Amino acid sequence: MIRKVLLAAFVFAMALPGVAQEHSPNRLNTYSDAGSGGGFLKQNLFLGGSINLEFSGYDFNVGGSPEIGYSLNNWLDVGLLANLNYSSERADPGGYYNPNVRSRSFNYGLGAFGRVYPLPFLFLAVQPEYNWIDYNQKDMNSGITYTASTQATSMLLGIGYGQRVVGHGSFYIALLFDALEDKNSPYRDFNGAALPILRAGFDIYLHPSR
């Protein structure tokens, strides 16, 4: 599975310049050094990232995701990202949410993203990821501690709001959920339920338009 995800991310990145050539510069809020013939527009390349927060009654997660991307036109951004996250789940003595087990984890991963803007201030997001996770769990009843390392595939889907000007910059806030059912996903709780992911981010274009 990891090979498929990383291969898809690689192909995704290599395809960016070719796909960009199929879009007319007239559809972009920018100017091109390549002239009217189209081609790769360096001012459409951006660098940025986001911080994320997950929460529920017993769960907490905080992390960050640096990213590099390309604006294909006024309504579509694509790119690659990495992520680092810390998660914790407090023990439930009542045994309703979990069998009184405290869980902590740290994960890092790689992925790709696409953001479609049906409106200038609104976008739909898709974000496949592959994560490596280190777990630490403690049974508060027995005092026994358990550690493990695992891997998981995630597919984050959601909606976002923000301000974006191609060739200049953007900032946004998004609400995402993991659409896959991998029990080891860092975006699911002890019982396997998907957690809401709140992300706030910004991007800066590397060659701003004048």
Average pLDDT over residues 34-51: 77
Q: How many CB atoms are closer than 10 A to CB 31?
A: 13
Query: CATH code at 47?
Result: 2.40.160.20
Q: Which are the contacts of 203, defined by CB distance < 8 A and separation ≥ 6?
A: 46, 47, 48, 49, 67, 69, 164, 169, 170, 171
For 99-103, 129-133, 155-159, which range has the lowest pLDDT when averaged over its residues? 99-103
What residue numbers bound the domain in which 186 lies? 2-205
Which residues make Cβ contacts (< 8 Å) with residue 22, sequence separation at least 6? 38
Query: Does pLDDT of 181 surpass 80?
Result: yes
Give 189's pLDDT tier (boundaries 50, 70, 90).
confident
pLDDT at 210: 67
Distance CA(95)–CA(91), nearest Å, equals 8
- Residue 114 maps to a domain: yes
Give the HSE-up count for residue 92: Cα atoms under 13 Å, Cβ half-sphere: 13
The segment with the largest mean pLDDT, out of 25-39, 64-78, 179-193, is: 64-78
Which of 24-28, 82-86, 157-161 comes out lowest in average pLDDT? 24-28
210 in a domain, yes or no? Answer: no
Cut 0.85: pTM above it: no
- Rounded Cα gap, residues 173 and 34, in angstroms: 33
In the chain, helix, strand, coil percent, each to 5?
15, 55, 30
Least confident of 29-33, 72-76, 78-82, 192-196: 29-33
Residue 200: pLDDT above 50?
A: yes
Q: Would 102 be classed as within a structural domain?
A: yes
Please give the pLDDT value at position 14.
Answer: 45
In a domain? residue 152: yes
Pick the more confident residue, 161 or 54: 161
pLDDT at 38: 57
Q: Is residue 105 part of a domain?
A: yes
> For the chain, how many structural domains are there in total?
1
Tell me the pLDDT band of 53, cut-offs 50, 70 and 90.
Answer: confident
Q: Does the residue 53 lie in any domain?
A: yes
Instruction: Look at residue 70 and tell me whether its pLDDT is greater than 60.
Output: yes
Domain membership of residue 69 (yes or no) is yes
Judged by DSSP in three states, 32 sits in coil
Q: And the tokens for 77?
A: 């951004």
Please, which pLDDT band fits residue 80 given cuts at 50, 70 and 90? very high
